[in-house]
Chains A and B, each alone.
Chain A
Amino acid sequence: MKIAGFLLLLSGWLLVLAAVMLLAVPASRLCFVLAGGGVEILGLFLVFRAHAPLARERH
């Protein structure tokens, strides 16, 4: 889950970069930038979730 989370973070960033580079129409660029941000938030959620039980187990 942790690796998936980090991959999602990276994918979201690449999506944002691709939107900036490839899309010229402001509305579609905005949509893809926000979609990339959404993917990153999902990735962050997964990374947080993956670490919570790890921290408790270690404790």
Chain B
Amino acid sequence: MPATVPALSEVGMAICIFLILLVPLAIAGLALINTGFVRSRSAAHAMLSTLCVVAIAAGVYFVCGFALEGYAGRPMHAISIAGKQWSWLADEKFFFRGLELDGSPASLAALLQIFGVGLAAAIPLGSAADRWRLGASAAAAVLLAGCIYPLFAHWAWGGGWLAQLGVNYSLGRGFIDCGGAGSIQAVGGLNALVILWILGPRRGKYSVEGIPAAIPGHNTVLVLFGCLLALLGWVGLNSAGAILFTGTIPARVVLIAVNTMLSASASALTSLLITRIRFGKPDASLVANGWVGGLVASCAGCAYMEPLAALLIGVVAGALVTFSIQWLELIAVDDTVGSFSVHGLCGLWSLLAAGLFAHVPGAAPGQWIAQVVGIATLLGFVLPLSYGLNLLLDRVLPQRVPPEGERQGMDLHELGAGAYPEFVTYTEDFIQR
């Protein structure tokens, strides 16, 4: 990561703005995926939760998120350890004060992250669907957007100590994360895991003997359409992130788009192949997860990888998603959508893969150690911090809906009306278990 990102030409700025405006499509895709994967009685709740959480995350990021995160070359708090500067927090003003919204790289980064933080906050919604209260998910989004996300994003994207590992300790070019594999995907995915631990599995997911039952989503078409929509969003996210956070030239957008597409394709096809071999038929939901897992895996090093490497990264991501979703189910982690596997695990894999496959111009050797330090920070600092904050929140504001609400469905219980009022409702949904 360069100490400062050079100002963009007018054409570069226009391209960057266009790419940033694609990012909400990633959120829309994720919202459709989350909604399609839940039962019909919780569909409206899933979509409304996404909308609320994205709105809250944007608001909180405006109030204090950017002030804590900052941008490379702008004011920040740093401590000196053995003569090296360790920047741990930005020193910006709240409410975007002091930030000129004029198309400068810092202002474009703020715009990108208003969407990015919404995407990160929407990730846990999929995992905890069918049992996470709307109020609690909104409060968790405040914690994520106001504390967890800005802190790690400053370290990785805002010129913080992770980004400066190259300058300070000659570890490659420092921690690189073009499209937010760590800052957005892994942070969101680990937050999803924390919420899953706190909430526990859905009612009816496990038998008395502890054997998991399949609870299929209500609309696979929504899920698959969401996957296609997410592709556009991810191309925007990876490209704009690479330009704004690693100083990549706009002409590299072509390479980034190719890598993003190849990684997603390879991952989806790997999932398809694995499920075809294991179950006799392709599993649409796992293939959809594989697709998004491939998009996530493309994030970190997309601007510095050969297309062949992107293909290989996608293949590994597809296998990782497919096997981890099934493995998590066996150890009583009931991830409704598979968000932890898709965003958390594939985000971490993307960071490691960037260290292994990326060829960053002018970088010293040891890039992969910088990436491992970033992964260690996510697991050793972000995960416990997120767990502690959300556990505290659970004590103040119980996150799980009461059993009655789960029986009724989140739509009726929390919103008072269903998503599909003209549908015939299955009666067994309302029988006391």
> In the docked arrangement, what's the CA distance between A10 and B383, Å?
9
**Would you call B372 and A16 a contact (CB within 8 A)?**
yes
> In the docked arrangement, what's the CA distance between A21 and B379, Å?
19
CB of B363 within 8 Å of the partner chain: no
**Would you call B82 and A16 a contact (CB within 8 A)?**
no
On chain B, the residues within 8 Å of A14 by CB distance are 380
On chain A, the residues within 8 Å of B169 by CB distance are 20-21
**Would you call A40 and B333 a contact (CB within 8 A)?**
no
**Would you call A55 and B334 a contact (CB within 8 A)?**
yes
**Would you call B373 and A9 a contact (CB within 8 A)?**
no
On chain A, the residues within 8 Å of B381 by CB distance are 10, 13
Closest to B331 in A: A52
CB of B387 within 8 Å of the partner chain: yes
**Would you call B384 and A29 a contact (CB within 8 A)?**
no
**Would you call A55 and B200 a contact (CB within 8 A)?**
yes
Given A9-B383, A59-B200, do A51 and B332 touch, yes or no (CB 8 Å)?
A: yes
On chain A, the residues within 8 Å of B197 by CB distance are 47, 51, 54-55
Q: Tell me, rounded to whole Å, the shortest Cβ–Cβ distance linking B333 to chain A.
A: 7
**Would you call B206 and A40 a contact (CB within 8 A)?**
no
From A13, A54, A56, contact of B376 by CB (8 A): A13
CB of B210 within 8 Å of the partner chain: yes
**Would you call B201 and A59 a contact (CB within 8 A)?**
yes
Q: Tell me, rounded to whole Å, the shortest Cβ–Cβ distance linking A37 to chain B.
A: 6
**Would you call B379 and A13 a contact (CB within 8 A)?**
yes
> In the docked arrangement, what's the CA distance between A54 and B333, Å?
10
CB of B410 within 8 Å of the partner chain: no
CB of A46 within 8 Å of the partner chain: no
On chain A, the residues within 8 Å of B206 by CB distance are 56, 59
> In the docked arrangement, what's the CA distance between A53 and B332, Å?
8
Number of A interface residues at 8 Å Cβ cutoff, please give it.
31
**Would you call B376 and A30 a contact (CB within 8 A)?**
no
> In the docked arrangement, what's the CA distance between A26 and B169, Å?
10
On chain B, the residues within 8 Å of A37 by CB distance are 372, 375-376
Q: Tell me, rounded to whole Å, the shortest Cβ–Cβ distance linking B138 to chain A.
A: 23
From B201, B205, B334, B373, contact of A33 by CB (8 A): B373
Given A20-B165, A55-B332, do A13 and B203 touch, yes or no (CB 8 Å)?
A: no
On chain B, the residues within 8 Å of A13 by CB distance are 376-377, 379-381
> In the docked arrangement, what's the CA distance between A40 and B81, Å?
24
Interface string of B237-270 (1 = CB under 8 A from A): 0000000000000000000000000000000000
On chain A, the residues within 8 Å of B379 by CB distance are 9, 12-13, 40, 43-44
> In the docked arrangement, what's the CA distance between A6 and B382, Å?
11
**Would you call B201 and A26 a contact (CB within 8 A)?**
no
**Would you call B200 and A54 a contact (CB within 8 A)?**
yes
On chain B, the residues within 8 Å of A16 by CB distance are 372-373, 376-377, 380
On chain A, the residues within 8 Å of B117 by CB distance are none
On chain A, the residues within 8 Å of B171 by CB distance are 20
On chain B, the residues within 8 Å of A10 by CB distance are 380-381, 384
From B331, B366, B376, contact of A48 by CB (8 A): B331
CB of B48 within 8 Å of the partner chain: no
Q: Tell me, rounded to whole Å, the shortest Cβ–Cβ distance linking A52 to chain B.
A: 5
**Would you call A9 and B331 a contact (CB within 8 A)?**
no
> In the docked arrangement, what's the CA distance between A24 and B377, Å?
20
**Would you call A56 and B210 a contact (CB within 8 A)?**
yes
> In the docked arrangement, what's the CA distance between A24 and B206, Å?
51
Q: Tell me, rounded to whole Å, the shortest Cβ–Cβ distance linking A14 to chain B.
A: 7
User: A10-B380, A16-B376, A21-B81 known; 5 other A-B pairs, CB under 8 Å?
Assistant: A10-B381, A36-B380, A37-B372, A40-B380, A48-B333
